[in-house]
A = this chain, B = another copy of it.
Amino acid sequence: MNETKHVHIVTFIKDKIKKGEWTIGSRLPSQRQLALLFEVNRSTIVTALEELTAEGLIQGKTGVATVVINNTWTLLEGNVPSTWNKNIKLGGHQASSVLVQEINEAESDPRLIQLSKGELAPDLFPLQQMKEVLHRVSDQLTSFGYEEPKGNRQLREAVSVHLKKRGINASPSSILIVSGALQALHLISVGLLQQGSTVYVEKPSYVYSLAVFQSAGVQLKGLPIDREGLSLEALQKVPFRPGHSVLYTNPTYHNPTSSLMSLSRRKTLRAVCEEKQLPMIEDDVYRDLWLDEPPPPALKARDTTGSMLYLGSFSKSLSAGLRIGWVVGPDAVIDRLADLKMQSDYGSSSLSQYAATEWLTSGLYEEHLTTIREALIYRRTLFVQALETYLAPYATWTVPTGGFFIWIQLHQAIDARSLFSQAKEAGLLLNPGSIYAEPSGSYIRLSYAYASHSELQEGIRRLALIIKTAIEK
C-alpha cells in the first residue's frame, strides 16, 4: 500500500470538509469513484476512510453511503463556550488575537523573510556546544523520573549562582523552574490573581499579544512608556485597590519598544510600588542580550519587601526549544506556584533541566553570550544602515541598546491588517504595533535577530516600497 497516497487522500478529504465544501450530512463519493479519482487501489481508499472515520469526520455503514458527520466535540464546544473561550471572546483584542495566530502560522513558512520572529537565527544557535552539552548530560546520566515540585535541585542552585552574578540574591528554595517565562505568567495569572483584578502594564506591551491574563479573567490596564521606561506620572495617578492590582513590567529591552528603564526611574518605580503596596512582576528575559553596556540592575536586585516576582528564561539568549525559564519570589508564593505547576504538568523536562544546568555550570553560557553579542551588534549595524538607506523618508526609530527589536514609527499611520497582508504578499513577515495594543497604527516591530544578513537588507527594501505605495494611494 502506498503510504504517501493514503496521507494525501486523507488530507484532501479533510480539506474539503474543513472548507465546508463537503458539508455535514453530505455523501462522499463511492470507494470505487475515489479509487479512480486518486488512481489507487481500493485498499488505499479503505485505509484513508478508516482514518477519517476514527477521527470522527465521516461515518459509514456497510451497504450505505459514507457521509460527513457532525461530531460531539464540536457540539460540546458549540454549545458550551468554556470560560477560557468566553474570556478570549469577551477580551478586548479579538482582532489582534486572530492576527497573532496568523503570524504564528506564517512563522514556520521558510519562504518568508522573517522580521517578525522573537528568537535568534539558526546560525546563532550554538550547535557545537549544545552537542557537547548533550554528550556530557548523557555521560553523567542516572535514572530519572518525576522531579521535585520546584524543579531539579542542581538547576535551581545553578540559577541561584547565575542570578547572584546579576545582583539578585535568590536561594534555590525561592526559585521555581518553569517551561519558559510564558508558563510563569500563566501560573501567576491562574494562581495569584483573582478574576476581576487588574494588571497594569506598559502600553504597548508584549502581554497584549497573549491571552494569558485575559483568559484568567484579569483585566489589563495600559500605562504609557517613554525612552526611560514606564511613565511614573501615569502610575502615580492610578487609584489602586490593594490586593486587586499588580504591575507587570518589562523594564530591560522592553518588547516591543526595546526601551531600557533608567537607573533613576527604577529607583522611583520601586519606591512608588512600595508606598502603594503594589506587587510587581518583573519580566527580564532580554537582560543577557545587552549590546553596548550592561543594563542597570534588575528591580528585583533591590527588592526589600518581597513584593516582586522576577522572570528569566533561556529562550531569547540560548534556545526557546529548551523551554526552560524561572520565577523568583518569596518562598510562600513560589511554593504555591510550584504546587500549581505540579497540578498542570508535573514539572519540566528532566533532559532540558540537565542541559540547562550544564550550560550554566560549565561556563559555556557566559561564553556563548559574548559570541552572540558580537553577532547581534553586527546585525544591528547592518539593519540600521538598511533602515537609513530605505526607510528614512517614511519613518523614525531609536537604535536599541540591547535585545533585537526595532520599534519603527511611520510618519503616517497605515492600517495594520492591510500593511501586514501586503508585506506578507511581498514575502515579508512583520509585527504591526496593533498586536501590542499600540492604537495609532503608526508603529511596527522588526527584529534583526532571525533573518539572514542579506534578507535583513532586502526585507527593508521591500518594506519601503510597500509603505511608499500605501502612502501614495
Contact = CB atoms under 8 A, between A and B. Distances in A.
The list of the 8 closest CB pairs from A to B, nearest first, reads A56-B306, A321-B350, A125-B143, A79-B243, A349-B349, A134-B138, A144-B321, A71-B306
Contact of A186 (B85, B138, B244, B345): B345
A146 B321 contact: yes
A469 interface: no
27 contacts: A50-B169, A55-B170, A55-B171, A55-B174, A55-B330, A56-B304, A56-B306, A56-B329, A59-B304, A71-B332, A76-B243, A76-B246, A76-B279, A80-B244, A81-B194, A83-B190, A122-B145, A125-B145, A131-B141, A145-B320, A179-B348, A182-B343, A183-B344, A211-B343, A321-B351, A323-B348, A323-B349
Contact of A83 (B54, B104, B194): B194
Contacts of A182: 343-346
B54 A168 contact: yes
A75 interface: yes
Interface string A190-216: 111111010000000000001110011
A303 interface: yes
A217 interface: yes
Contacts of A321: 144-147, 349-351
A349 B119 CA distance: 16
Given A55-B330, A83-B216, 10 more contacts: A10-B171, A53-B304, A54-B170, A69-B306, A71-B307, A82-B194, A125-B143, A138-B138, A345-B345, A351-B352
A332 to B, nearest CB: 6
Contact of A197 (B80, B215, B345, B351): B80
Contact of A74 (B130, B170, B332): B332
Interface in A335-362: 336, 339-340, 342-352, 355
